[in-house]
Amino acid sequence: MTQTLPSSTKENFNLAVLAKEAGIALVIQFAGVALTYLVQVFLARWMGRIVFSQPVLGIFGSEFMVASWQLKILVLGNLVSAWCGSVGYLMVMTGHQNKSVVVFVSATIINIVLNAIAIPLFGAVGAAMATAFTTALWNIWLSFLVVKHVGVSPLVFRGLFQWSSSKSEIGT
């Protein structure tokens, strides 16, 4: 026996409008402030990994110290990912998983192609560059989709997305 959902739950919803109607806009604003401080803490941590990459890799043995540049490149790719926030989770949790699958599959194909080109030319550094690039690409791409479909601006890229619809809905 199957159950059908009431028609009101089948409709798409806008997370920003829902937050405004439920009176939790202040909670979302607080979360944004908290994320700002977390990004600063993580930025310090990543800067430490970049500056002290050789001593950190030396903990695992002297042969790992040669991977210093690869670590630095991957850290920069992860930094872009952190600045974008949890855009993948936002897309999936708001019912836009099919749109995010297109991004993930496209980024995977681009990563494979870039690795096929960069590894013969630059070795492990090329692989790190390709991976960092595609990590940044899919996070920025999903940031645009979150603004378009969910109506919430990701924290750090908020200035790029000040469209009139998102301003009026979330009160920024």
If one counts the domains in the chain, the total is 1
φ, ψ of residue 94 to 5 degrees: the values are -105, 15
pLDDT tens profile 40-60 = 676 777 677 777 788 888 888
Task: State the CB neighbour count (10 A cutoff) for residue 128.
Answer: 23
Does the residue 57 lie in any domain? yes
pTM: predicted TM-score of the whole model, two decimal places: 0.66
CA 125, CA 128: separation in Å to the nearest integer? Answer: 5
Does the residue 125 lie in any domain? yes
- Residue 149: domain span: 14-170
Does the residue 3 lie in any domain? no
Helix or strand run (H / E) with residue 5: none
Does the residue 68 lie in any domain? yes
Does the residue 112 lie in any domain? yes
Does the residue 5 lie in any domain? no
Does the residue 115 lie in any domain? yes
- Between residues 154 and 165, the one the model is more confident about: 154
| Residue 150 structure tokens | 């969910």
